[in-house]
Amino acid sequence: MAVLAVLAVSMGGPASALAQDDELPTTAVTARMAVTPTKAGTAAHPQGVVVRGSVQVVTEPGFDPPIITGEDILFGEGFSYNGDRYPRCTKVVLDFQGPAGCPQGSIMGSAYGTGRADTILANMKVVLFNAGAARLLAYTTVDHPARVRRTIVVGTENLIGAWRRQSSFMVPRDLQVVAGLPIQLNNLYFSLGGRPWAEDYITTTSCPDGGWRYQASLHYLYDRLGETSDDAVMGAVGCTS
């Protein structure tokens, strides 16, 4: 689930001249998530699920869209994450051998983003690999304006309280700016879990009041201004016991 946003990394629209040099644009973030099946399991009998979703960020017209530099994702109760049960890959293997060097059974999901680098279409493809109970690896490829392949580390930790788990990642600078052009993706689509070889990678163990809750906090860089900002979006997926 960490990749929500592997994940989750998307900004809006083609670049244009800043309307005002010292003013930050307004951005609107929308996120949708679906969990299949929606009938929850129990602690005694967990239910394996597939998590799918999309993220969109739209920037006020007349401004350069910002670059996403990282994301923090919080999840409420009702889920269990079982990366320790399945084959795993490492960042060293992905960096030097690519996906072919990892066990097939370590692939847990994928993502696809669309956007631009100035006027050039810049699409992003991501393969998500299990790296143990506290880590997910996002092998990311951008083909335009130049081909760049990098491994993004998504770290996770368990929490106590209303939020039960946090996943966080930072986007490497060479994926933020490619061939001198800031990358501003405007859509991200993702799918995680439910693979035939790892049906219980993510399981549900209860259906809490209000559904399965999540919050995504995006970190922005306004490249020409050198300014940073943050934005958060919350949501919940309906479920039944």
- Does residue 11 belong to any structural domain of this protein? no
Q: CATH number, domain at 121?
A: 2.60.40
Domain assignment present for residue 106? The answer is yes
Q: Which two tokens stand for residue 116?
A: 């631009």
d(C-alpha 214, C-alpha 211), whole Å: 10
4, part of any domain? no
CA distance 211 to 199: 22
Q: Is 207 a domain residue? A: yes
Q: Kindly report, residue by residue over 144-188, the tens digit of the pLDDT.
A: 888 899 999 999 898 998 899 999 999 888 888 888 888 887 788
Domain holding 220, by residue range, is 27-237
Task: State residue 37's pLDDT score.
Answer: 97
In sequence order, the 6+-apart residues with CB closer than 8 A to the CB of 36 are: 49, 50, 52, 194
Is 78 inside any structural domain? yes
pLDDT < 70 stretches in the chain: 1-22, 224-226
User: Is 31 contained in some domain?
Assistant: yes
Supply the mean pLDDT for the chain.
85
- What is the model's pLDDT at position 225? 61
pLDDT number for residue 19:
36
Residue 3 lies in a domain: no
Number of domains in the chain: 1
Q: Is 94 strand, coil or helix?
A: helix
What are the C-alpha distances in Å from 146 to residues 66, 96, 110, 121, 141?
20, 19, 21, 11, 10
2 within some domain? no
